Amino acid sequence: MILYNIALSGNCHKVRLMLSFLGIEFEIHDLDLGTSEQSSDAYLKLNPFGQAPVLDDNGTVIRDSQAILVYLATKFGDKKWWPESSDELAEIISWLSTAANEIQNGPARLRVHYKFGRPIDFKQATDISNKVLRIIDTHLSQRIWLVGNKPTIADIAIYPYLALAHEGHLDISSYEHIQTWKTRFESLPNYLAMPGFSE
């Protein structure tokens, strides 16, 4: 199993977390951004969008971090991370959508701006961030995990860019329920940190 990876990508870290939680051995192929490997013909055959992560599981190639989480959970997770109940599955999918939309366009975009200097619509990204942080904090005031009474891939999908929020100059210290959830998540067996998680 090969993970095509960018070390500082929160989306790639979701997959590294999942693989670690599942105890799966894998090879990491760090993309050479200096040579624009992500735009090479060879890589575009794996993912025509030229994005990471991509997972190659003995010839089964999956692109997109959310899709990879679903693949790994359903193939290797023994229902632990991907429950069978339709209501919980619907909730998980809604949080995967939140990760791909509000989290990506809010906290992740602010991080890209401050850490890598990319131009963004600062007000829009800030407004989206503040709204989604309030929603998540309120949601977590009533529960210990995003869905159900145990961690799922919903938690993995949301976690990295909240843990990296300070790199986008977002102060989430006042969101007490998010802070408690982060601490709980980071206490899970086989938790794997990435550079930047600690201020």
How many Cα neighbours within 13 Å face the side chain of 167? 21
Segment 123-151, tens digit of pLDDT: 999 999 999 999 999 999 999 999 999 99
At residue 107, does pLDDT exceed 80? yes
Q: Is the CB of residue 83 less than 8 Å from the CB of residue 152? A: yes
Q: Identify the bridge partners of residue 29 per DSSP, sorted by sequence position.
A: 4
Tell me, yes or no, if the pTM score tops 0.75. Answer: yes
Largest Cα–Cα separation, the chain: 48
Average pLDDT over all residues of the chain: 95
Top CATH class of 86-186 equals mainly alpha
Q: Identify the pLDDT of residue 198.
A: 59
The more confidently predicted of residues 31 and 179 is 179
Domain map (residue ranges) of the chain = 2-76, 86-186
Strand bridging mode 54-57 / 60-63? antiparallel
Segment 55-68, tens digit of pLDDT: 999 999 999 999 99
* Among 40-44, 143-147, 173-177, the least confident range: 40-44
Distance (Å) of CA 126 to CA 31, 86, 94, 110, 122 = 30, 34, 22, 7, 6
User: What does the alpha-carbon distance between residue 14 and residue 65 come to, in Å, rounded to a whole number?
Assistant: 7
State whether residue 71 is helix, strand or coil.
helix
Q: What burial letters (b/e) apply to 10-30, b meaning 16+ CB within 10 Å?
A: bbbbbbbbbbebbeeebeeee
Q: What is the mean pLDDT of residues 40-54?
A: 95
At residue 29, does pLDDT exceed 70? yes
Top CATH class of 2-76 equals alpha beta
What are the tokens at 35? 């040579």
